[in-house]
């Protein structure tokens, strides 16, 4: 996407997965001791039946993509919403998908609809983002 | 908050800070190589003038508090929005604040307004959350 202008309808997709070790490290780093994320016995008895990946770990793929690939370095992150619709599990494949839905060229801003879907096509997280990019939105 | 019912107007506050090492670990874990977070030289030349803490690391305090303290274990996270209004820097003190603004008792859901403020009182992140808690919202 280097030196390319963002347009309405532009899309991007990235495959991601999260290991149990990623979740453990994330929980330590964020001091999130919620047993749903770190205690297999507790998680087994929960409505999810197994360890679930924290929403801020799985959702961080949105930030990663905006800041590094689509539209890339120089992106200023203004807004993100996340509807947590289905749990995200360890060691499964997910797809982060992005579509530019609005441009406010005079403010160099774009609205991007973001989803994280399972391989079976279920939407686990969805929500709008607003980003600004001085060189790629005009 | 153990065994207590959530009510409209209930508030909670937690002080947090983020080290440069936290940011480095978070960037590695989430594969977010955005130089704003990991390259001091690049960050110095940016509009922020220094390294900024990734929004998904600072914002993760909302998830931590919901899942572990307010209202605590058993919380189901349904929605979070984040308006990134001001940058969050390393090694400074911030306050995550929470206020219950709405209850939908029959669905065991609460809407909670969340902010992350600097010691100077500037709002860095703000947004609504929706959580569900089978035992604490009724």
> CA A122, A92, A28, B26: dihedral to nearest 10 degrees?
-80
> What tokens appear for A121 in the block?
């096509």
> What tokens appear for B102 in the block?
């709405």
In a domain, A79, yes or no: yes
In a domain, B99, yes or no: yes
Rounded Cα distance, B62 and B95, in Å: 11
CATH code for the domain in which residue B36 is found: 3.10.129.10
For the entire predicted model, the pTM comes to 0.95
Rounded Cα distance, B70 and B83, in Å: 21
Kindly calculate the radius of gyration of chain B based on its CA atoms and give it in whole angstroms: 16
User: Which one, of A96, A54, A53, A102, lies nearest residue A78 by Cα?
Assistant: A102
> pLDDT digits over B99-116, tens only?
999 999 999 999 999 999
User: Which one, of A29, A52, A1, A32, lies nearest residue B53 by Cα?
Assistant: A29
- Inter-chain CB proximity A73 and B30 less than 8 Å: no
Q: What residue numbers bound the domain in which B49 lies? A: 11-132
In a domain, A95, yes or no: yes
In a domain, A6, yes or no: no
- Inter-chain CB proximity B55 and A73 less than 8 Å: no
DSSP A135: T
> pLDDT digits over A36-79, tens only?
999 999 999 999 999 999 999 999 999 999 999 999 999 999 99
In a domain, B32, yes or no: yes
In a domain, A4, yes or no: no
| Stretch 49-108 of chain A: residues touching chain B, C-beta under 8 Å | 54-57, 59-61, 63-64, 67-68, 73, 75-84
């Amino acid at each position: 996407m280097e030196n390319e202008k963002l347009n309405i309808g532009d899309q991007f997709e990235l495959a991601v997965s999260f290991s149990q070790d990623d979740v453990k490290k994330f929980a330590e780093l964020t001091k999130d001791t919620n047993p749903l994320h770190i205690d297999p016995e507790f998680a087994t008895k929960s409505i999810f039946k197994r360890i679930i990946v924290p929403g801020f770990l799985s959702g961080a793929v949105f930030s990663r993509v905006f800041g590094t690939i689509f539209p890339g370095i120089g992106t200023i992150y203004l807004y993100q919403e996340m509807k947590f619709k289905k749990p995200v599990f360890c060691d499964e494949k997910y797809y982060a998908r992005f579509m530019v839905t609005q441009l406010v060229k005079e403010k160099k801003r774009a609205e991007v609809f973001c989803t994280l879907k399972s391989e079976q096509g279920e939407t686990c997280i969805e929500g709008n983002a607003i980003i600004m990019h001085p060189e790629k939105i005009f």
